[in-house]
Amino acid sequence: MRYRLLGKSGLRVSEWCLGTMTFGEDWGWGANAAECREMFEIFASRGGNFIDTANFYTGGNSERIIGNLIRQERERYVLATKFSLGMRDGDPNAGGNHRKNIIRSLEDSLKRLQTDYIDLYWLHAWDFTTPIEEIMRTLDDLVAQGKILYVGISDTPAWIVSQANTLATLRGWTPFVALQIEYSLVERTAERDLLPMAKAFELAVTPWSPLGGGILTGKYNDTVPEEGVRLKADNRRFSERNLTITREVSAVAQEIGCEASQVALAWIRSKGLVFIPIIGARSGKQLASNIDAENVNLTPEQITRLEAVSAIERGFPHDFLDSESVRKYLLAGTEGLLDGGRR
């Protein structure tokens, strides 16, 4: 496995990130402790060092399992966890992004993970209540204390991330170095604003659900899940558009002689070094198959087919600004004479 720099930092992380929302059976699905150890050992044996969890995953059990797995070689791993989501119903301060919840969440995570610091601490989701100044100052204080080393942000509008990093730069506080978003062939709307923003701020991007919640594995190509299947709660994935995309993914996989899931992951990898996909699994076999996507090379023609079938409308103002007439007047008729640009 190769390694990449995490955004504008000097931190070296593996080209795959091990997602651990499936670590623990507390939610009625997922992997038991033995299966988690098998996945962890496969990931580590292949050179993986980047592990992603959250205080909320399986009620905190994901963190406990990881803590047990890495405690003998803690320094070897880049450990990421998150705050934001509430762990105690009925308490208005048990969730959110305010200082009280950040401090409490971090102290609880440190105990469960059996460590005295977190390498990358993620804001899990924007709460639309906490001032950005409060969040960035609190995170900077924790960096100064050595309890966290780097900070990242997940599931947040692009304009808020931009405001946060601009403020951090002006105040001399610690900026976000990474962005976590949902991104896959069936969910490309991040290309409108989040990904251009990440490029402008040189943020690493760690896509979650790169297999579209399982639909891009091809197992639902002909049959929508019946009642009782966990994914039934997310029926938005099972549109005719998405099933058309998955069939094209499966067709490319058949041409190459690999798994459909590997094609979906290879497509994300083709987007550039800034992407570090989060790969989760229920078993060691699934995880090993996902990692093997690093050996799948898509041709330009195959990438074009996948992007054509999954294309989205960029919408306003992107389409407006890309129009021939607007470009003509913006450049005063010299569009064919100008080299360079910042797109």
From 49, 10, 15, select the one nearest 273 (Cα to Cα).
15
Largest CA distance in the chain: 66
Q: How many C-alpha atoms does 278 have within 13 Å on its Cβ side? A: 24
Residue 74 CA to residue 167 CA, distance in Å, equals 33
DSSP string across 239-257: -HHHHHHHHHHHHHHHHHT
State whether residue 287 is helix, strand or coil: helix
Residue 157 CA to residue 125 CA, distance in Å, equals 9
Residue 57 designated active-site: yes
DSSP string across 125-144: S--SSS-HHHHHHHHHHHHH
Residue 115 CA to residue 99 CA, distance in Å, equals 21
Q: Which of 57, 150, 183, 220 is catalytic?
A: 57
- Write out the catalytic residue numbers: 57
